[in-house]
């Protein structure tokens, strides 16, 4: 995926003007505010705020940290690193939940 800066493009949203960027690739032709990132979770695209960590995302999804395994860009993220791992534009995650039973 390629991100192209569009310094002249602006969007008035909630009374605030944001710089935009054009996104080339799976989201070709779309513009997203600079404060938002495009990521893919379990094959589905989603927007999150810049600075979102793996721990933040797990909480936003309503999942319990101790019941999930997270792969970020083909690398398993240990639970101890969830708070420190910040998502980047274009990040791809696979999140698996554990289910007990017998």
Q: Which domains are seen in the chain, by residue range? A: 1-34 (no CATH), 35-102 (3.10.20.30)
- Per-residue model confidence (pLDDT) at position 100: 73
CA distances from 95 to 6, 55, 101 (A): 33, 12, 20
Compute how many other C-beta atoms are within 10 angstroms of the C-beta atom of residue 95: 16
| Pairwise CA distance, residues 51 & 35, whole Å | 9
- Per-residue model confidence (pLDDT) at position 98: 84
Given a cut of 50, whether residue 17 has pLDDT beyond it is: no
- Per-residue model confidence (pLDDT) at position 25: 52
> pLDDT tens for residues 70-102?
999 999 999 999 999 999 999 999 999 987 776
- Per-residue model confidence (pLDDT) at position 70: 97
| Pairwise CA distance, residues 92 & 65, whole Å | 18
- Per-residue model confidence (pLDDT) at position 53: 96
Average pLDDT, stretch 6-24? Answer: 44
| Pairwise CA distance, residues 27 & 46, whole Å | 11
pTM over 0.85: no
- Per-residue model confidence (pLDDT) at position 32: 54
């Amino acid at each position: 995926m390629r991100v192209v800066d569009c310094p002249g493009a602006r969007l008035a949203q909630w009374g605030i003007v944001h710089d935009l960027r054009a996104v080339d690739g799976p989201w070709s032709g779309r513009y997203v505010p600079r404060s938002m990132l495009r990521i893919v979770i379990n094959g589905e695209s989603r927007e999150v705020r810049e600075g979102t960590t793996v721990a933040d995302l797990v909480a936003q999804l309503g999942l319990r940290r101790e019941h999930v395994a997270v792969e970020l860009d083909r690398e398993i993220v240990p639970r101890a690193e969830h708070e420190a791992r910040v998502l980047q534009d274009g990040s791809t995650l696979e999140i698996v939940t554990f289910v007990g039973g017998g």
